Structure 1
């Protein structure tokens, strides 16, 4: 699992820092770039609502390979300066993101259940979170070297197709995606959302469409499943807003050039520390209770960032938040593994991403200041802590 998953996240981390820079280099205005970003998150919200159901029906390994193919096509579109081609790339990227954050996790949980290793699931998520942080740091260093190795030039004078410069990280991501697809085909056994894992001829279009409807009704009718989705959307939404806002928050009122690469690496080390802390604390405390502490700590950190005038204090609190991020992934990966029914897991995980994408689109489309954004985050995380207490009490009564 780790080899396939970490190659997938490597491809994502390689691209992340250079998407905005590439669009800007092509000469697009901030408004045009915002349109492209909104298209990506909108695509994830719309297409993500049903690709998870299709993955439960068609096979999680198959859709992990499809993720690699679709994301590779998205990378290829970056070589074209044409706005419509770039827009197509963002739409493909949105679909890929939905697959990355649902299919891989769904495959892992089913594989643990089939092998009778449910007790190991928390450790597996902890290793995945730790490995993801290592991959992020490595990707940042590799992408930085690659982007500055050769200047970006048009293949033909006055042409629309470019190579080199900011495109190099996307080309390296292509190689990672090729490895991801091959590794999934070679190392993974296929698994499905049904309870017996069968793959008979009764699988058809009505089957997966019916599965999507079932996933929606299950989420609405089961308070535990619904609470789980709302809480994860609130935390992950605050995480995305943090990604957009930490740079302006630290540069506000400061003329000195900041070492953004070093700052990002520090965040990732804090995230690694969080996943290691989870491994220690989960031996002493139930995941549901640990989640309450994580959300409350994250809320306090965000409020502190919003109210502080000192960049040093802001930076330290940002690292505290990153520690909670490192703890969140294994906690909620394990919790969703227990609460969400196996038969419609990938479909429900993608339904969870709909409110998350609404939060992200709201932050992109409104001109919020860093202070307002972090206060919004503190409120969302505080709400998540309260809802987590409700979820914990409900599960204790069962």
Structure 2
């Protein structure tokens, strides 16, 4: 059965390589990008890759490290809840300060807080580990807001073509959420298993990559900020963000869609293992994870082509991405109702149902790869520049709240109910995306404006 994973991984890797070759321009506008822009983009992509490496290296061994220190599932769950709670409360506040004091400073704050989180992993004391989750929660909010805000602001301040952002977004996801995630997983496994450095080694490696990225930021990035007046109070910043969200339907729909999709995505992170091995079937977690990341890379390659088509707006095609995502996560429900195999033997390899479910999950990961750069493009279009980081952090509040509730009550719900909830979220996101398309579509000549 191991050949199933190898063939799947190989097929997806071949598709990914073919798409990347197809994307490379040999002539025309894409081949004549100015050297100063290419240097700017390369600098950002290198920094983004290092920042994502610092994040991806930690992921596979967070749970394992806590188990190594002797903590049970309940204590570990509280640590995870603390991380998401910190991101929701303190991360939102710290992230919003980027608009007032600078996105470069926010990036360096991400480096410092995440390195501090890594250092705490050297202690087995529960209080120290809890402090590490506190720092990690703040860092996570900065990772998904400060760097994108810096890029968009710097891109426009240098008067680069807005269309060039599309390529930067798709490449960032392809490299940071694809290539780096696979390499980081392999490196973490090598340090722990082959070098026998123990489960804390990936965190030391993460701190090293973060420090290198921090040096590059400090030496090469210029500062930019949103709010003109740094003396504006934090309350005023959040008030402006609230006004932007609830008085502009485009921003409101965008934030709601992001929260719904990411809530389903983060829930999927907890659900895919029990879904593929409901009866303790033996599954190669590392190979499955790598295969999913290749699928995500394929999605980001597709996104690059979609965003490069001026006649195809993300406001239109993303509603179909959301619907397809809902269908892919509904597959375990369908297989539960119409099973292919009634008898399972604990400890056996993955079943036929598991293989079909995995293919559905690969489709979902591919759609995740499309989601990220497409959402970045829409955020760059609709989120106000002066409060960009604040608004983006506000988008993450319902996401973090939802994940905390799920983590606290995950044992109370059957697996099919969890997947049904995720699918419902994604269908809701598709509905909101349709509304966004309607209110942003250019009116037909002679037609009255559309009312929503």
Please give the range of the TM-score, normalised by the shorter of the 2 chains.
over 0.9
Residue 268 (1) aligns with residue 293 (2): yes
C-alpha RMSD of the superposition: 1.4
Q: Is the 8 A contact 1:295 1:381 kept in 2?
A: yes
Which residue of the partner structure matches residue 178 of structure 1? 211
| TM alignment of 1:41-52, pairs within 5 A | 41-52=84-95
Residue 290 (1) aligns with residue 317 (2): yes
Q: Is the 8 A contact 1:240 1:360 kept in 2?
A: yes
Q: Distance in 2 between matches of 1:320 and 1:30?
A: 30
Q: Distance in 1 between matches of 2:213 and 2:240?
A: 31
Which residue of the partner structure matches residue 124 of structure 1? 168
1:208 deviates by: 4.1
Give TM-score, length-normalised by structure 1.
Answer: 0.92
Which residue of the partner structure matches residue 344 of structure 2? none
Report which stretch shifted further, 78-87 or 297-306: 297-306
Q: Distance in 2 between matches of 1:370 and 1:181?
A: 41
Q: Distance in 1 between matches of 2:440 and 2:264?
A: 25
Q: Distance in 2 between matches of 1:306 and 1:183?
A: 47
Which residue of the partner structure matches residue 343 of structure 1? 386
Q: Distance in 1 between matches of 2:333 and 2:191?
A: 35
Q: Distance in 1 between matches of 2:419 and 2:220?
A: 42
Q: Distance in 1 between matches of 2:426 and 2:306?
A: 21
Residue 221 (1) aligns with residue 254 (2): no
Which residue of the partner structure matches residue 15 of structure 2? none
Residue 146 (1) aligns with residue 191 (2): yes
Which residue of the partner structure matches residue 193 of structure 1? 226
Which residue of the partner structure matches residue 108 of structure 1? 151
Q: Is the 8 A contact 1:53 1:209 kept in 2?
A: no
Which residue of the partner structure matches residue 415 of structure 2? 370
1:18 to 49, 61, 69: 61
Q: Distance in 2 between matches of 1:290 and 1:121?
A: 18
Which residue of the partner structure matches residue 253 of structure 1? 279
Report which stretch shifted further, 18-27 or 357-366: 357-366
Q: Which has the larger radius of gyration?
A: 2
Q: Distance in 2 between matches of 1:370 and 1:28?
A: 25
1:291 deviates by: 0.7
Residue 167 (1) aligns with residue 200 (2): yes
Report which stretch shifted further, 301-310 or 43-52: 301-310
Report which stretch shifted further, 95-104 or 207-216: 207-216
Deviations 1:209-240 (A, max 9, x none): 42222112221221111111000000011110
Which ranges in structure 2 are unaligned for 5 or more consecutive residues?
1-43, 340-352, 444-448
| TM alignment of 1:352-367, pairs within 5 A | 352-366=395-409, 367=411
Q: Distance in 1 between matches of 2:182 and 2:377?
A: 25
Pairs aligned (count)? 378
Deviations 1:96-146 (A, max 9, x none): 000001000101111111122211111111000100210000000000010
Residue 381 (1) aligns with residue 426 (2): yes
Deviations 1:180-202 (A, max 9, x none): 111111221111113xxx6xxx5
Which residue of the partner structure matches residue 154 of structure 1? none
Which residue of the partner structure matches residue 33 of structure 2? none
Report which stretch shifted further, 112-121 or 266-275: 112-121
Q: Is the 8 A contact 1:57 1:203 kept in 2?
A: yes
Give TM-score, length-normalised by structure 2.
Answer: 0.81
Residue 137 (1) aligns with residue 182 (2): yes
Q: Distance in 2 between matches of 1:9 and 1:45?
A: 20
| TM alignment of 1:88-99, pairs within 5 A | 88-99=131-142
Deviations 1:330-359 (A, max 9, x none): 100000110100000000000000011122
Residue aligned with 1:85, SS? helix
Residue 392 (1) aligns with residue 437 (2): yes
Q: Distance in 1 between matches of 2:154 and 2:320?
A: 30
Which residue of the partner structure matches residue 161 of structure 1? none
Q: Distance in 2 between matches of 1:41 and 1:79?
A: 21
Which residue of the partner structure matches residue 301 of structure 1? 328
Q: Distance in 2 between matches of 1:228 and 1:18?
A: 33
Q: Distance in 1 between matches of 2:46 and 2:258?
A: 25
Which residue of the partner structure matches residue 160 of structure 1? none
Q: Is the 8 A contact 1:143 1:169 kept in 2?
A: yes
Q: Distance in 2 between matches of 1:186 and 1:78?
A: 29
Which residue of the partner structure matches residue 56 of structure 1? 99
